[in-house]
Amino acid sequence: MAHTTYAATRIRGLSVRDIRFPTSLEADGSDAIHPDPDYSCAYVIIYTDTDFKGHGLAFTIGRGNELVVAAVKSLAKVVVGKKLRPIFENFAGTWRELTSESQMRWVGPEKGVLHLAVAAIVNALWDLWARIEHKPLWKLLVDMEPETLVSTIDFRYMEDVLTREEALQMLREMQTGKNNREERMINRGFPAYITSAGWLGYSQEKIERLLKGFISQGWRHFKIKVGQDLEDDKRRCKIVRDVIGEERTLMVDANQKWSVKEAVDWMKELAPYKPRWIEEPTSPDDILGHATIAEALRPLGIKVATGEMCQNRVVFKQLLQAKAIDYCQIDACRLGGVNEVLAVYLMAKKFNVPVCPHAGGVGLCEMVQHLQMWDYICVSGTTKDRIIEYVDHLQEHFKHPRKVVSCHYLAPKIAGYSVEMWEESLMKYEYPYGSEWKKLFSCGKYQDPEASPPPWIEHRTKGKIVYR
Amino acid sequence: MAHTTYAATRIRGLSVRDIRFPTSLEADGSDAIHPDPDYSCAYVIIYTDTDFKGHGLAFTIGRGNELVVAAVKSLAKVVVGKKLRPIFENFAGTWRELTSESQMRWVGPEKGVLHLAVAAIVNALWDLWARIEHKPLWKLLVDMEPETLVSTIDFRYMEDVLTREEALQMLREMQTGKNNREERMINRGFPAYITSAGWLGYSQEKIERLLKGFISQGWRHFKIKVGQDLEDDKRRCKIVRDVIGEERTLMVDANQKWSVKEAVDWMKELAPYKPRWIEEPTSPDDILGHATIAEALRPLGIKVATGEMCQNRVVFKQLLQAKAIDYCQIDACRLGGVNEVLAVYLMAKKFNVPVCPHAGGVGLCEMVQHLQMWDYICVSGTTKDRIIEYVDHLQEHFKHPRKVVSCHYLAPKIAGYSVEMWEESLMKYEYPYGSEWKKLFSCGKYQDPEASPPPWIEHRTKGKIVYR
């Protein structure tokens, strides 16, 4: 560990920008619950008194992104002005300071807007650390002594399932064979599955055309959206199964559309199309509901997957305890950044549940590839039943986008966490002042938030009372 | 139902203010996790095209309040401009529109900042409805036909435990005797317990003095904070038990301080002081953890209570399913306003778990008295094992504060939900421009957020790039 390289470095500032892409115009990303997402992110840069910067982001789907941006501003004081040594040498403590700020935690805690903001800051800190060490994040994690890695995790509320000592033990046991596994990642990469063919808004012709194209590229696993209309789901599952054949894998995703009973009934109807898993069958908060669904679907050979909306390690802990999930779909910025994601991987290992990360969105593919490679090399030691989601859009905005070749994510080589975006993209898509947004407002495709009066009445502006 | 009175009324606007009281100066409200709360609220007024206004609020403890205010502004468009008839005649649908705004739900859903904002708006809508009907909220609820009341509830994600039909049945069965129970509430009010003696920051002398004063007023139930230091907790429990004697009730509250095992071990040490319940022993998200704790403490006669941080009905549903709570402590604005609180009361009835609302804070006492009286008259039919928290500060800011006489909350008589604050209080305590805040900044007790540069770097202001 080249700790000396950052010993004297101090964080001199942090910037956060509201970046939004008008993806709803093309129905990209549409599902049963989110018909019109504008893929967005709160984009953070941490500036130091050296040339090193850290980039981090939290993905959202449009409106509400302004709240994550505001929360980052409110939390910035926890890290700005601090030296890197106390941050990284007590990273669990720094993480606790961010997640448990004594007043702000009331509007969380460890969930929603506030936790997304923590993720954006924490992810930027990890990017910074990896850059200082001149390593891609996965390699930084892989090269860490087990003691150092475990020191980044806050075990509060997890100890009934995983203690610090157990985590250490797990990591130590996997030291053997690390080099071989690292080599395999560098040579082959990590297997991926594809979701881009399956959005609800896409036509039958578009689905078939996309699927055939993907099959010709060698893809073997496909996920489609379900939950809006049972007859239409059957029809679309049949189309997909007909195109991909019996030997390839179909997964389905309901994006929280159903009640518990509805999920079971609906999936019984889709069972003939042999989906490997049903993703997000019901409320992301319903641990016991997922357990009921998983038990009911087990005899049909349908597994349950969830996690992209799973708010923190405490809920993942219970999903694992209750045997509610067969696949654990961590999200790189729904959880509070890398530290908490590591904790969830370790718990999943203990329960022998494979992690298949949620990706797509903005920057999620870029981030989760690092985490999954670390898992393979240092935790699970296998790719069996493990696969990373892959969605092929918006990568053009990233300076070093993920490379997916032969349906495998290739191990990133550039130092950092791979989320740095082109300054030009940031300038174009900053909401609402970026040049692309100005165009969209002027052609009437979106409403300029500043062109019409807000729906609320302003009482005061800078100390002066302004009633409308 | 005088629906005709609002048939043509339209919501013309909504205002929201960041109101904060500098309570941390006196250590009021301090506990093991929140050492320095500044009791605050996002304060909403809904304006109509008539003279009727609706007042609502969501309580927070200081920093982070600005995020709830911002979220209210972002959600305002869901109700502003709408007529009251479609809002109240399909209140479950309106509630769903607020909680499931197709893009904003990503930064929730139904939790944290976003759900607090929903609560502030929804509570203002109920206040408005009650005022139009010229009834205090509890009476509006009590006089509603079961069908109307149930029509305000969104049963999504609850149906595996409570269907609309079961809820209706429950309410219909309790129609008998309603008048007698209403009379009892008007004559006697609802029993209360007191927390004001038990904050961690208070000295022994202060605790004893306060307790003796409360006992002389007739109080029989007292709650104190625990969890910071075991020996100190034992000492303080002993002081309280010595002063209140065996015949009065002690409850203890750990405010989420412990892991599951720690909670069990710690409470075994406090068992000799015979606390009736341990409140918030661990993470509010840990349903299975609470179940483990409840099971371990049952033989000791210590019950488990939680709810003030319970994010929504889905988590309450599971706490009830898992037998994780013996007392259900709903919060009037942690849940998404009255509609969702009603749902939780009905589920608690089904599981035969008494509801003892969380109060204190800003306006919580004012709100929960209405809910608890409705529960007594229309749902549970009993005050056995049911009690409302009472904290005697900040009531001076309310136009019609709760009246607690002989340790009972008296039934409110004024139309509405009792949260309207004096305009003078709003002007004084609006953060950061109110006159009291200006004084606090100038005497140096608080830092003026505008006097020092923010910790973040502004990239753009109104379209112009501003780098620092």
Q: Kindly determine whether residue B62 and residue A322, on different chains, have CB atoms separated by under 8 Å.
A: no
pLDDT of residue A468: 43
Q: Which range is least confidently modeled, A194-203, A359-368, B61-70? A: A194-203
Nearest CB to A64; choose among B47, B106, B260: B106
d(C-alpha B6, C-alpha B74), whole Å: 26
Marked catalytic residue, from B115, B317, B349, B358: B358
- Residue A226 class from Cβ within 10 Å (0-12 exposed, 13-18 middle, 19+ buried)? buried
Distance from CA of A47 to the nearest CA of B (A): 9
pLDDT digits (tens, 9 = 90+) for B42-101: 999 999 999 999 999 999 999 999 999 999 999 999 999 999 999 999 999 999 999 999
Interface test with B, best of A21, A155, A285, A452 (most B CBs within 10 A): A285
Q: What is the mean pLDDT of residues B235-247?
A: 93
Burial profile B165-189: b = 16 or more Cβ within 10 angstroms, e = fewer:
ebbbebbeebeeeeeebbebbeeeb
Nearest CB to B455; choose among A14, A256, A261: A14
For the domain spanning A171-423, the CATH number is 3.20.20.120
User: Encoding tokens for residue A4?
Assistant: 């000396």
Does A457 lie at the interface with B, CB-CB under 8 angstroms?
yes
Distance from CA of B359 to the nearest CA of A (A): 15
What pLDDT band is residue B464 in, cutting at 50, 70 and 90? Answer: low
Other CB atoms within 10 Å distance of the CB of residue B450: 12
Marked catalytic residue, from A55, A115, A223, A225: A225
Q: Determine whether A225 is an active site residue.
A: yes
Tell the CATH superfamily of the A3-142 domain.
Enolase-like, N-terminal domain (3.30.390.10)
Does B261 lie at the interface with A, CB-CB under 8 angstroms?
yes
Check whether the bond before A109 is cis (ω within 30° of 0): yes
Distance from CA of B56 to the nearest CA of A (A): 14
pLDDT: which is higher, B206 or A220 = A220
Residue in chain B lying closest to A34 (CA): B102
Parts of chain B belonging to CATH 3.20.20.120: 171-422
d(C-alpha A244, C-alpha A153), whole Å: 42
d(C-alpha B348, C-alpha B319), whole Å: 10
Nearest CB to A318; choose among B14, B286, B457: B286
d(C-alpha B100, C-alpha B115), whole Å: 10
Residue in chain B lying closest to A40 (CA): B103
Parts of chain A belonging to CATH 3.20.20.120: 171-423
pLDDT at B130 over 90: yes
User: Encoding tokens for residue B110?
Assistant: 């139904």
Single-letter amino acid code for the residue at A5: T
pLDDT at B459 over 90: no
User: Encoding tokens for residue B386?
Assistant: 């049911």
- Average pLDDT along chain B: 94
pLDDT at A2 over 90: no
d(C-alpha B55, C-alpha B125), whole Å: 8
pLDDT digits (tens, 9 = 90+) for B356-370: 999 999 999 999 999
pLDDT of residue B1: 45
pLDDT at B445 over 50: yes
pLDDT: which is higher, A2 or B281 = B281
Nearest CB to B104; choose among A63, A81, A462: A63
- Residue B143 class from Cβ within 10 Å (0-12 exposed, 13-18 middle, 19+ buried)? middle
d(C-alpha A83, C-alpha A98), whole Å: 16
pLDDT of residue A4: 56
Q: Which residues of B touch A292 (CB under 8 A)?
A: 160
pLDDT at B33 over 90: no
pLDDT digits (tens, 9 = 90+) for A9-29: 999 999 999 999 999 988 666
**A97 Cα distance to chain centroid:** 22
Distance from CA of B401 to the nearest CA of A (A): 24
d(C-alpha B362, C-alpha B396), whole Å: 11
Count of residues in chain B: 468
Interface test with B, best of A17, A96, A103, A437 (most B CBs within 10 A): A103
Nearest CB to B104; choose among A64, A311, A322: A64
Does B315 lie at the interface with A, CB-CB under 8 angstroms?
yes
CATH classification for the domain delimited by B171-422, as one of 3.40.190.10, 3.20.20.120, 3.40.720.10, 3.30.365.10: 3.20.20.120
d(C-alpha A250, C-alpha A232), whole Å: 16
Does A124 lie at the interface with B, CB-CB under 8 angstroms?
no
Q: Which residues of B touch A76 (CB under 8 A)?
A: 454-456
Among residues B310, B289, B320, B265, the alpha carbon closest in space to that of A161 is found at B289
> Would you say A42 and A114 are in contact if contact means Cβ atoms under 8 Å apart?
no
Residue in chain A lying closest to B318 (CA): A288
Q: What is the DSSP string of B118-171?
A: HHHHHHHHHHHHHHHTTSBHHHHHHHS-HHHHHHT---TTTTTT--HHHHHHHH
> Would you say A211 and A194 are in contact if contact means Cβ atoms under 8 Å apart?
no
Nearest CB to A315; choose among B156, B285, B322: B285
Q: Which range is least confidently modeled, A126-130, A309-313, B455-459? A: B455-459
Q: Kindly determine whether residue B311 and residue A463, on different chains, have CB atoms separated by under 8 Å.
A: no
Q: Write the secondary structure of A59-71 as one string of H (helix), E (strand) and C (coil).
A: EECCCCHHHHHHH
Quickly tell me which residue has 């891609």 as its tokens. Answer: A136
Does A75 lie at the interface with B, CB-CB under 8 angstroms?
no
pLDDT digits (tens, 9 = 90+) for B301-334: 999 999 999 999 999 999 999 999 999 999 999 9
pLDDT: which is higher, B26 or B134 = B134
Does B195 lie at the interface with A, CB-CB under 8 angstroms?
no
- Average pLDDT along chain A: 94
Count of residues in chain A: 468
Does A284 lie at the interface with B, CB-CB under 8 angstroms?
yes
Count contacts between A and B (CB, < 8 Å): 259
Q: Determine whether B399 is an active site residue.
A: no
Q: Which residues of B touch A14 (CB under 8 A)?
A: 455-457
User: Encoding tokens for residue A104?
Assistant: 């702000």
pLDDT of residue B468: 43
> B 361-400 residues with CB below 8 A of A?
none
pLDDT digits (tens, 9 = 90+) for A66-79: 999 999 999 999 99
What pLDDT band is residue A462 in, cutting at 50, 70 and 90? Answer: low
Q: What is the mean pLDDT of residues B403-431?
A: 97
Quickly tell me which residue has 């595996």 as its tokens. Answer: B160
pLDDT of residue B467: 44
pLDDT of residue A467: 44
Residue in chain A lying closest to B333 (CA): A107
Does B60 lie at the interface with A, CB-CB under 8 angstroms?
yes
Residue in chain B lying closest to A39 (CA): B103
pLDDT digits (tens, 9 = 90+) for B334-348: 999 999 999 999 999
pLDDT at A442 over 90: yes
pLDDT digits (tens, 9 = 90+) for A91-150: 999 999 999 999 999 999 999 999 999 999 999 999 999 999 999 999 999 999 999 999
Single-letter amino acid code for the residue at B460: R
- Residue B261 class from Cβ within 10 Å (0-12 exposed, 13-18 middle, 19+ buried)? middle
> B 29-58 residues with CB below 8 A of A?
33-38, 47
Q: What is the mean pLDDT of residues B429-437?
A: 95
Distance from CA of A80 to the nearest CA of B (A): 6
User: Encoding tokens for residue A385?
Assistant: 């039943």
Nearest CB to A322; choose among B104, B111, B288: B288
Single-letter amino acid code for the residue at B38: D
Single-letter amino acid code for the residue at B233: D
d(C-alpha A66, C-alpha A78), whole Å: 20
Among residues B87, B17, B25, B82, the alpha carbon closest in space to that of B55 is found at B17
SS3 B273: helix
Interface test with B, best of A17, A67, A314, A442 (most B CBs within 10 A): A67
Interface test with A, best of B59, B67, B154, B448 (most A CBs within 10 A): B67
**Maximum Cα–Cα distance for chain A, whole Å?**
69
Per DSSP, B458 falls in state P
Marked catalytic residue, from A358, A370, A397, A408: A358
pLDDT of residue B35: 83
Q: What is the mean pLDDT of residues B267-278?
A: 98
Nearest CB to A66; choose among B74, B156, B458: B74
pLDDT at A463 over 60: no
Does B81 lie at the interface with A, CB-CB under 8 angstroms?
yes
User: Encoding tokens for residue B369?
Assistant: 């008295």
> A 151-170 residues with CB below 8 A of B?
156-160
pLDDT of residue A302: 98
d(C-alpha B333, C-alpha B206), whole Å: 31
pLDDT digits (tens, 9 = 90+) for A379-412: 999 999 999 999 888 999 999 999 999 999 999 9
**A70 Cα distance to chain centroid:** 20
pLDDT at A458 over 90: no
pLDDT of residue A32: 77
Quickly tell me which residue has 């109509």 as its tokens. Answer: B48
pLDDT digits (tens, 9 = 90+) for A23-46: 998 866 677 788 889 999 999 999
Q: Which residues of B touch A37 (CB under 8 A)?
A: 102-103, 106
Q: Cα dihedral angle (A357, A363, A365, A370), rounded to 10 degrees?
A: -80
pLDDT at B460 over 70: no
> Would you say B278 and B298 are in contact if contact means Cβ atoms under 8 Å apart?
no
Q: Kindly determine whether residue A102 and residue B292, on different chains, have CB atoms separated by under 8 Å.
A: no
Marked catalytic residue, from B225, B257, B290, B370: B225
Q: What is the mean pLDDT of residues B257-269?
A: 98
Q: Which range is least confidently modeled, A295-299, A385-389, B120-124, B200-204? A: B200-204
Does B146 lie at the interface with A, CB-CB under 8 angstroms?
no
Nearest CB to B112; choose among A13, A65, A112: A112
pLDDT digits (tens, 9 = 90+) for B138-175: 999 999 999 999 999 999 999 999 999 999 999 999 99
CA angle B398, B316, B332 (to 5 degrees): 5
Parts of chain A belonging to CATH 3.30.390.10: 3-142
Q: Which run of H or of E encompasses B43?
A: strand B40-48
Does B439 lie at the interface with A, CB-CB under 8 angstroms?
no
